[in-house]
A and B are shown apart, each in its own frame.
Chain A
Amino acid sequence: MDNKSLKATRQSYGEALEILGELNPDVVVLDADLSEATKTNLFAKKFPERFFDMGIAEQNMMGTAAGLATCGKIPYASTFAVFAAGRSYDQIRTSICYPNLNVKIVATHCGITVGEDGATHQMLEDISLMRTLPNMTVMCTSDDVQTKWAIQEMAKKQGPFYLRLCRLATPSIYQEKDYFEIGKAIQIGDGTDGTIFATGVVVPEAIKAMEMLKEKGINIRVIDIHTIKPIDIEMIIKCAKETQKLISIEDHSILGGLGSAISEVLTEKYPKKLIRMGIPDTFGKSGKAEELMKEYSITSEEIVKQFVNFM
């Protein structure tokens, strides 16, 4: 992990779109008056004829994307996660997922790491909402390289995708040569004292915790779950068998999110206790992203505490 090169996954999204636009003439991009923030403005500048600002009207944006998809276009529709998964839920359900249309929803500004804007803008329920929709693939990437891969990869796959991205700049974890596959989690480290399953913006916290624990003689592994649906069942069972303590961490409500998805697998396939770190059943609040991560205990220090207490 490179702590010096910080980048927000939304920035990686914008950069990836610029390249994708060159490679695939069927790609079109829609935004709802947030293209500066979601970084779709990079695509808009380069391909103005294939960029559609739909104004502050997210429901119509999702439906329009669906219509474009029926004609063979590959629409990427972006806005903040709260307006994508929340406000347009029924449009995503009825006009995109039910007809199984090839719409790629890339939602930025997920979780409490949105920061100062506060609870109204901090989407803590989107993984939960999106993963219950049939046909939907749900992803949450953790760094620049992985996000750029996901943006390219989803264009090659038929069907709806929901990718949740972050506002906060985070360290780079992967290198260009690293291999990714949709539905396959990534194992970092091979400790057997415990496993921390993480997704998105908190993966770097999990890696930091792994390093801190190593100094204390506790060896854990990090599992980066970039695809939450379909979830990597094999990897979860493998870690449950090979390691002692299991923890999940996410910048999302602990209800219905990554922790819940892992629990579902464990309950049916390999019953074992899982500690779910994340936002409890509550709305967020204003503050700096880093302060809020401390406030809601989704930091490397908190992960370390959990493992040390156990050991």
Chain B
Amino acid sequence: MINIEELQEKAKEIRKGIIEEVYSAQSGHPGGSLSCTDILTVLYFKEMRVKPEEPEWEERDRFILSKGHASPALYSTLANRGYFPIEELKTFRKVNSRLQGHPDKNKLPGIDMTTGSLGQGLSVANGMAISAKLENKDYRVYCLLGDGEIEEGQIWEAAMAAGHYKLDNLCVIIDNNNLQIDGTVDKVMSIYPLKEKWENFGFETIEIDGHNIEEIIQAFEKARTIQSKPTAIIAKTVKGKGISFMENQVGWHGKAPNEEQYKEAMQELMIV
């Protein structure tokens, strides 16, 4: 069983991969990738039932990165988990790469759903969760949403349906870094109060620090015990987490580091 220190170490490796990808491509979204890294680490290295050597295994737990622009985080997690060579991260966003700007399920092993146009992932997760119920299968479905993303109306159509159909095999995680392109989420278009919104749509809610590995593990454990309703984990996060000059800086939503910044970022990640 992997312990907390080992998970923290994995998260650091995954962050290195993210910086590598965005630097190689000179394009991509580091801020929102770094904010969800710890959540993805726990999902793929502890919580989820997956077989990297058999990515289409029918009994696997499913994961949908609804905020598809955080693809660097997902790719780096999958590579570190053994779905494909870490070396391939350098091809991110390049012509004919399997690592498309946004995740493409038909190109890269381990991608359960193609995403990119915000607001669509939760509906797809619902479909997977309904399918599991129809087949009496016990796999679970995880869907990561951006906090800015939930300004999309389709999210609330999907939330209503997940509550209505009592999808207790569904676990939503909201990456609440409170930043979107035009500024802070509360200033651009407030989504708050978050907890009450999700509860009113029929969800059990769990509020955590999205960078505290132990809290993340416990939240997923609790979600497994909830019956007859889906769970929403509201994870308070920091955009750009782990790279000091990117933290809480909206400018790092969709910008690549230059050579100097790349070296500085990598150096920060080398420190034990």
Q: State the CA gap A272–B122 with chains docked (Å).
A: 49
Whole-angstrom distance from the CB of B102 to the nearest CB of chain A?
A: 9
User: Do the beta carbons of B154 and A49 come within 8 Å of each other?
Assistant: no
Whole-angstrom distance from the CB of B225 to the nearest CB of chain A?
A: 24
User: Do the beta carbons of A91 and B114 come within 8 Å of each other?
Assistant: no
User: Do the beta carbons of A99 and B104 come within 8 Å of each other?
Assistant: yes
Q: Is the interface of A mostly helix, strand, loop or mixed?
A: helix
CB contacts between A and B, total, < 8 Å: 106
Q: What bracket does the count of chain A residues touching chain B fall in?
A: 20 to 34
> Which of B125-133, B201-209, B246-254 is the contact stretch?
B125-133
> Which of A66-74, A190-198, A224-232, A237-245 is the contact stretch?
A66-74
B94 cross-chain contacts in A, Cβ below 8 A: none
User: Do the beta carbons of A67 and B160 come within 8 Å of each other?
Assistant: no
Given known contacts A70-B112, A99-B114, is B120 in contact with A63 (CB within 8 Å)?
Answer: yes
Q: State the CA gap A61–B161 with chains docked (Å).
A: 9
Given known contacts A59-B157, A98-B114, is B134 in contact with A66 (CB within 8 Å)?
Answer: no
In-complex Cβ contact of A94 among B114, B128, B135, B160 (8 A): B114
Residue of A50, A69, A98 with most partner-chain B CB within 10 A:
A98
Q: State the CA gap A86–B75 with chains docked (Å).
A: 33
In-complex Cβ contact of A63 among B62, B112, B123, B134 (8 A): B123
Q: How many residues of B contact A (CB 8 A)?
A: 33
Which residues, 102 to 121 on B, are CB-close (under 8 Å) to A? 104-106, 112-117, 120-121
Tell me if B235 counts as interface (CB < 8 A to partner A). Answer: no
User: Do the beta carbons of B113 and A99 come within 8 Å of each other?
Assistant: yes
Using CB atoms, name the residue of chain A closest to B64. A67
User: Do the beta carbons of B134 and A70 come within 8 Å of each other?
Assistant: no
Tell me if A60 counts as interface (CB < 8 A to partner B). Answer: yes
Tell me if A65 counts as interface (CB < 8 A to partner B). Answer: yes
**Which residues of A are in contact with B by a Cβ distance under 8 Å?**
28, 49-50, 52, 54-55, 57, 59-73, 75, 90-91, 93-95, 98-100
Instruction: Given contacts A61-B123, A68-B128, A70-B62, list 12 more A-B pairs with CB under 8 A.
Output: A55-B161, A55-B164, A59-B120, A60-B158, A63-B154, A64-B126, A66-B113, A67-B127, A98-B104, A98-B114, A99-B105, A99-B113
Give the 4 A-B residue pairs with the shortest CB-CB distance, closest first. A67-B127, A63-B123, A71-B131, A60-B157
